[in-house]
Amino acid sequence: MKRLTAALGSAVFFIVAPCVVAGVVPWLLTGWEFGPPWPAPVLIAVIGVLITVAGAAVLVNAFVRFAWEGRGTPAPVAPTEELVITGPYRWVRNPMYLAVVAAIIGQALLLRQVSLLIYAGVVAAAFLTFVKLYEERVLSERYGEAYRRYRAAVPGWIPRPRGRRLGRR
């Protein structure tokens, strides 16, 4: 896939998937209105903004890597030609899923909305189930030994800043 096509496909998928899950649904659940006061509201709001921004930054970075380095998209219908193992993928295998959940948790803290914390838990459970039942098998079939080495070297869900050094296939 050409990089321009991959970038366009990734942009469309970005709007359809993470923007809906981490943006539209939280808005539908809360109207982005503030909930009742929590202790230390300013500190919690600042932490919420930082978590949301960090999640968004990781997510955008991962989408760019899929298009540029992998020459494909995160969408299962148009996967990358190359396994992406750089950037946040050096520390954790599922940075996009973690970034989406982080963005939801950040909004929950900013808006003081318990419903968003519950929603974040549901989304995290759905992501974990999808990865275990579908994604790991498909990636293993698509990328073979390269993915098996990557999976052995990099944790799936809890980032490890000093993981093993990974080279290209």
Q: What is the mean pLDDT of each run of 10 residues along the chain (169 residues)?
A: 89 95 98 94 96 98 94 92 95 97 98 98 98 97 96 93 54
Separation CA 73–CA 90 (nearest Å): 18
What global pTM score does this model have? 0.92
Any domain includes 116: yes
Domain with 114 in it = 3-153
Structural domains counted in the chain: 1
What's the pLDDT score for residue 1? Answer: 79
What's the pLDDT score for residue 64? Answer: 94
DSSP-derived secondary structure letter, 68: H
Any domain includes 168: no
What's the pLDDT score for residue 168? Answer: 46
Any domain includes 146: yes
What's the pLDDT score for residue 166? Answer: 55
Any domain includes 161: no
Which are the contacts of 147, defined by CB distance < 8 A and separation ≥ 6? 83, 139, 140
Separation CA 60–CA 66 (nearest Å): 10
Any domain includes 81: yes
> In whole angstroms, how far apart are CA 85 and each of 42, 96, 104, 106?
37, 13, 25, 26
Query: Inter-axis angle of helices 95-111 and 114-130, to 10 degrees?
Result: 170
Any domain includes 158: no
Any domain includes 133: yes
